Amino acid sequence: MSAWRAMRTFAGDAGLVAAKDLRIEWRARTTLGQVLPFALLVLVLFGFALDANRPALRLATPGLLWMTVLFVTVVAAQRSVALESADGARRVLLLSGMAPAAAFAGKAAAVAVQLLAVEALVVPGAVLLYGAAIESVPLVAAACVAATVGLSAAGSLLGAVVAGVRAHQTVLPILLLPVSAPVLIAATRAFADGLGTVAVGGWSWVGLLAGFAAVNVAVGAVAYGPLLEDA
Amino acid sequence: MTVVSLRGAVVLLGGFPALAGADLGVDRGEVVLVSGPNGAGKSTLLHLCAGLLRPAAGQAEVLGCDLDADRARVRRRVGLLGHDTSLYGDLSAAENLRVWARACRVGAADVGGALDRLGLPARLRDVPAARLSAGQRRRVALAAIVVRRPELWLLDEPHAGLDVEGREILDDIVTAAAAAGATVVLASHEAGPAAGLATRTLAMAGGTLTPGPTT
């Protein structure tokens, strides 16, 4: 098989899995009906916790925002695992013969699309709610994309790790939150620069986010097959 | 041509030998019924033959591929009906089959024909699979195998949950598949409904196989 044909097959399989997951999510309305309200609620509650102190909230906006996205990642990754766990559905991925790396890419892409959709509403929401302002749209957008790729890949990979564990709903956050700490730190720094709260060289933090994303994608592509078989 | 060849195959599940040295040879076009009580190892045997499990000891080959080293190739050529139906509950029957057909690269054009063959009424094809009855879901799961047209059919308790019409359709499909050269391994805790289909019956107990029906 030529490299071009192999790439097309890979992209087709990944697209099939992503489209399937997104269609299921659209039907279940989980992201729109539960995850998004959850994210907005967390932002509001953070505001209450800081006593609506505008200067403090403005300074804390990047960190609060990415903590919220991290919580959303946990929920989205759990949903992604649950789709394949119910009624032995993961056997579709195993028996179809598609490359496990393509299945992983599709699962991660579906989670990424959901996260980006949530971020598209939560970022402006946080800016408005906390009285911040976006000073560099390209920096904020690049940080969002790089962080989202890293988080969705980590979530999909660790979701496969815990898929066979009986208490996977509680185990996944325990694994995912520490692993995502570098994203939280780097995305917060990049956003702090992008929102003009602290000048910290935001693009270098975006570079770190891209590196983290690349590592997670590579590890996931290699490890997903064995994890799927063992689940 | 030998399609399934197991010699002293051992499969450990959680350290427990679910298959304890099973010997099995199945030739192309055969319909073999494996009957035995619950927990005898029938499902494990089918999962091993489908390339979903790795033998811990012994030799195991399916469709000429070694199950220790080349399970991915086996998985592309078998159809497995397990206890669960492997359907996405929020997708309709037709959507489930289209996803499956595209993933297997067999083309989604046959989806309607497969559902026709399984007798699933048109009004139910766009209903989410989670809202179908157990028997209807079973029919959709069988349709997925029909769509793929595998070389080896592995059917675990295939008659379970099916009504009389569904059982007759299943029997017709299995008979036609075998006539077309496919190999079929059926597993059932009761020989009754599947016995008429089988060209050979084996008994299974304690993770091993012996010729003849369970007594």
* A contacts of B84 (beta carbons < 8 Å): 87-88
Intra-chain end-to-end CA distance of chain A, in Å: 30
- What confidence tens digit (pLDDT) does each residue in B66-113 have? 998 899 999 999 999 998 999 999 999 999 999 999 999 887 778 999
Q: How far is A229 from chain B (nearest CA, A)?
A: 7
Enumerate residues 6+ apart whose C-beta is below 8 A from A21: A80, A83, A106, A107, A110, A111
pLDDT score at A230: 78
Name the nearest CA neighbour of A110 among A218, A22, A32, A12: A22
Task: For residues B154 and A212, give the distance between their C-alpha atoms in angstroms, rounded to a whole number.
Answer: 43
Task: For residues A52 and B206, give the distance between their C-alpha atoms in angstroms, rounded to a whole number.
Answer: 67
Q: Reading across the β-sheet that carries B65-66, which strands appear in turn?
A: B16-27, B2-13, B57-62, B65-66
Question: Would you list the domain boundaries of chain B?
Answer: 1-77+151-215, 87-149
- What confidence tens digit (pLDDT) does each residue in A46-93 have? 888 887 778 888 888 999 999 999 999 999 999 999 998 888 888 889
Q: Is A88 left (phi over 0), alpha (psi -120 to 50) or beta?
A: left
- What confidence tens digit (pLDDT) does each residue in B9-34 have? 999 998 899 999 999 999 999 999 99
The CA distances from residue A182 to A208, A220, B35, B131, in Å, are: 9, 17, 55, 43
B82 vs A12, A88, A98: nearest CB: A88
- CATH architecture classification, B1-77+151-215: 3-Layer(aba) Sandwich (3.40)
Question: Would you list the domain boundaries of chain A?
Answer: 3-230
Residue B21, Cβ density class (10 Å: 0-12 exposed, 13-18 middle, ≥19 buried): middle
Name the nearest CA neighbour of B186 among B167, B149, B159: B159
Q: Cα dihedral angle (A76, A81, A87, A88), rounded to 10 degrees?
A: 150
B76 vs A13, A20, A97: nearest CB: A97
